[in-house]
């Protein structure tokens, strides 16, 4: 193939919408469905790149908003791009900052041209336009860049959601026009809030624009999970079959399983590493608050059968001690485990899809209701 | 050899007191002179055991006082001992808690029998006797245990220092009597405060007690460095030639070089990892405050020629970004570097001693006055 990016749809599960695919990028292949660890500030918190290799991460996500503010995209470019800067030579995806300017920064003003916001670091004023965001993402140089979008509050009414969606579509066009890097794939983002008609319209509009892949944004932002699942069902027929589908900011274990079932190929979520730093471990038998006294004399690993470095070598009792003693190693070990847990869940999901038994696989795990 | 511990004095530098040795323990050999990274709470802060292997640590130190308070020596014993608990299968040395009860805890009372102190964690009252400390250290199961000693304030007068030293000697006898583990070496500790006559008396008294090795305690506790260096010269003739000599709690780069010159075989110091967490890197061209703006666009490694993971793969600009962004990875990378820096300094010192050029080696580095 001449083109640097292509998605192979290898197989679709016979009984669900789950897809087994392979996305080719300049920094390697991503077997899908895939979970992407989040490296907000050009580092997956408490993980070295070799730790990420060790948990078998295929791709990581980093945040345009954060890197623009600190250290600045120009500096990252000067360093040789994000891969070189953070010493990660596998694929990277950068979001567009759309979600962060609406959730994290203080917004002054949303205009047709762009968004005025205040830095969460020092309160300084900044203006993001689609063109500016494309400049930043191209400077960062990830394999996948996301269009700048408006992530509308799900509590806003239909009329507002229409305006936000239409603006997102116009911004997507401007992004396409401004995006020139051939070694970077630009993904469009389906919006439309909690309104099925708008989601369908957004999926159709973006499909007609022929992006290399598609994000689904503005879900899991406060609405109940079943609303998100229904929405994924609703838009599925309108998403191009031969393009990767990325459910943005979603990746708890139950959402991973439910999302895959509905044809999602890519996920990202900070839950794995954030909860790890609070001593919460994910396992197929439920969450463990490792700080609890019940683990004081528990000399078993976090999760029996897990092949991560933490589970191969350390006990719950030791990790509990580290947590109680405020030791950094606790965050390192539990992060490793939670990432490996999620990546292994996706590995097993991929195998289940190949064997047309994804429904049983997911049902068995979801039935434990332990996530 | 039948005995689990023995020290081979391989060579003494022709022009200085520097010694090249090899100390055999049940968990492996320590090439001396050696620097021991400090794992206060059963973890060298921000380092996994594989990181410690990677920087080529030969032995680590852990703290009896801290482990007694949390998680408790009984728990560590139940886990199978400290090696198993923290997953470190190379040698470990535990201090006796003597220094900590005098520096960190609130002391209520020093009696002939032992010391009453308050926990720095919860203020609870505890009583350490030589017998109790031996019970704790034997439960922890390090390769090397230190006798319980009184670390006298260097500002106290000669009369007080005599009383403290005599008590330390009586406690050393009680420790010897209470210590029964054959797979653990017990080291005596030379005290005597800042008084040369007492230091000599202490060295002689302990030498007559035939310990497997000797700590030198109560130095670098506030007195000027030249006082410590002079004291090492003073006691050198009275230290048994064929036993390892451990200068407790000392290990800044200049002290390592000066200590080796005066016949010290073992060192430990928290400076390497503590300063790393403050963004301070050690190099042979001086200390670097990596937070400084001067490193913003510096795309060179922390130290050219260093073989550590941080220097092989990351730039000062990236690490500065991590520090500014409060990322844990900064502590991980700078700790790796500072440990490797110190361990490599000792590797080079050993080679210099073997070649009888330690004086030149040390003088050249000390001449830079950059530590």
**What's the token pair of residue A168?**
């997102």
A259, A245 in Cβ contact below 8 A? no
Distance CA A68, CA A140 (A): 9
DSSP string, B72-130: -HHHHHHTTSHHHHHT--S-EEE--SHHHHHHTSEEEEE-SS-EEEE-TTT--EEEE-H
Distance CA B250, CA B259 (A): 9
Closest CA to B166 of B203, B129, B192, B131: B192
For residue B371, the model assigns a pLDDT of 67
For residue A370, the model assigns a pLDDT of 63
**What's the token pair of residue B330?**
């900064």
Q: What is the CATH number of domain A6-275?
A: 3.20.20.105
CA–CA distances in Å: residue A154 to residues A101, A251, B135, B218: 16, 19, 63, 65
ipTM at complex level = 0.98
Closest residue to A328, CB basis, from B297, B325, B331 = B331
Mean pLDDT of chain A: 96
Closest CA to A33 of A237, A233, A226, A263: A263
Question: Which residues of B fall within a CB distance of 8 Å from A320?
Answer: 71
Phi, psi for residue A67 in degrees, rounded to 5: -70, -30
Mean pLDDT of chain B: 96
B182 CB-contact burial (10 Å; exposed 0-12 / middle 13-18 / buried 19+): exposed
Segments of chain B with pLDDT less than 50: 1
The fold adopted by the segment(s) B6-274 is TIM Barrel (3.20.20)
pTM above 0.95, yes or no: yes
**What's the token pair of residue B316?**
């000062």
Question: Quick check: B204 contacting A, CB < 8 Å?
Answer: no
CA–CA distances in Å: residue A239 to residues A197, A243, A344, B41, B327: 14, 8, 27, 53, 38
Report pLDDT digits (tens) over B278-303. 999 999 999 999 999 999 999 999 99
pLDDT band at A83 (very low <50, low <70, confident <90, very high): very high
Question: Quick check: A53 contacting B, CB < 8 Å?
Answer: no
Cα dihedral A131, A133, A134, A136 in deg (nearest 10) = 130
**What's the token pair of residue A245?**
């589908």
CB-based contact B41 A313, cutoff 8 Å: no
Distance CA B349, CA B180 (A): 35
What are the respective helix, strand and coil percentages of chain A, to the nearest 5? 45, 20, 40
Distance CA A38, CA A4 (A): 24
Report pLDDT digits (tens) over A329-364. 999 999 999 999 999 999 999 999 999 999 999 999
Residue A327 has pLDDT above 80, yes or no: yes
**Active-site residue list of B:** 95, 268
For residue B1, the model assigns a pLDDT of 47
Closest residue to B43, CB basis, from A45, A296, A329 = A329
Question: Which residues of A fall within a CB distance of 8 Å from B329?
Answer: 43, 45-48
Residue A215 has pLDDT above 80, yes or no: yes
Report pLDDT digits (tens) over B157-176. 999 999 999 999 999 999 99
Positive or negative, the Cα torsion across B299, B305, B311, B312?
Answer: positive
The structure tokens 């389906």 sit at A190
pLDDT band at A176 (very low <50, low <70, confident <90, very high): very high
Write down the domain spans for chain A: 6-275
CA–CA distances in Å: residue B131 to residues A252, B170, B176, B234: 52, 12, 9, 31
Q: Where do the DSSP E strands lie in A240-295?
A: 245-247, 266-268, 280-281, 288-289
Phi, psi for residue A195 in degrees, rounded to 5: -105, 110
Taking phi first (over 0 means left), then psi (-120 to 50 degrees means alpha), and beta for anything else, what does residue A210 get? left
| Active-site annotation holds for A95 | yes
Q: At what angle do helices B358-367 and B328-354 cross, to 10 degrees?
A: 140
Question: Quick check: B333 contacting A, CB < 8 Å?
Answer: yes
């Amino acid at each position: 193939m001449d083109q640097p990016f292509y998605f192979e749809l290898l197989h679709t599960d016979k009984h669900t919408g789950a897809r087994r695919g392979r996305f080719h990028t300049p920094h390697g292949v991503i077997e899908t469905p895939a979970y992407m660890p989040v490296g907000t500030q050009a580092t997956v918190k408490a993980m070295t790149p070799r730790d990420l290799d060790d948990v078998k991460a295929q791709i990581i996500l980093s945040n345009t908003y954060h890197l623009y503010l600190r250290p600045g995209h120009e500096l990252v470019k000067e360093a040789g791009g994000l891969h070189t800067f953070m010493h990660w030579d596998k694929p990277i995806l950068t979001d567009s900052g759309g979600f962060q300017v609406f959730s994290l920064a203080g917004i002054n003003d949303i205009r047709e041209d762009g968004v005025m916001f205040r830095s969460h670091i020092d309160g300084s004023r900044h203006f993001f336009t689609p063109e500016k965001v494309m400049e930043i993402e191209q400077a960062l140089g990830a394999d996948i860049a996301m269009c700048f979008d408006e992530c509308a509050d799900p509590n806003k009414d239909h009329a507002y959601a229409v305006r936000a969606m239409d603006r997102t579509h116009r911004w997507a066009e401007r992004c396409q026009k401004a995006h020139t890097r051939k070694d970077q794939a630009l993904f469009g983002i389906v919006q439309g809030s909690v309104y099925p008609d708008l989601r369908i319209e957004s999926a159709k509009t973006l499909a007609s624009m022929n992006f290399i892949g598609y994000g689904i944004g503005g879900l899991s932002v406060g609405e109940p999970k079943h609303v998100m699942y229904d929405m994924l069902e609703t838009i599925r027929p309108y998403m191009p079959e031969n393009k990767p589908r990325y459910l943005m900011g979603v990746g708890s274990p139950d959402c991973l399983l439910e999302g895959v079932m509905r044809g999602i190929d890519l996920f990202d979520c900070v839950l794995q590493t954030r909860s790890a730093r609070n001593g919460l471990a994910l396992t197929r038998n439920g969450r463990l608050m490792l700080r609890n006294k019940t683990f004081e004399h528990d000399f078993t690993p976090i999760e029996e059968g897990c092949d991560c470095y933490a589970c191969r070598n350390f006990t719950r009792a030791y990790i509990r001690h580290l947590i109680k003693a405020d030791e950094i190693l606790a965050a390192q070990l539990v992060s490793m485990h939670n990432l490996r847990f999620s990546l292994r869940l996706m590995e097993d999901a991929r195998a289940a899809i190949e064997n047309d038994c994804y429904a049983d696989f997911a049902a068995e795990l979801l039935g434990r209701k332990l996530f």
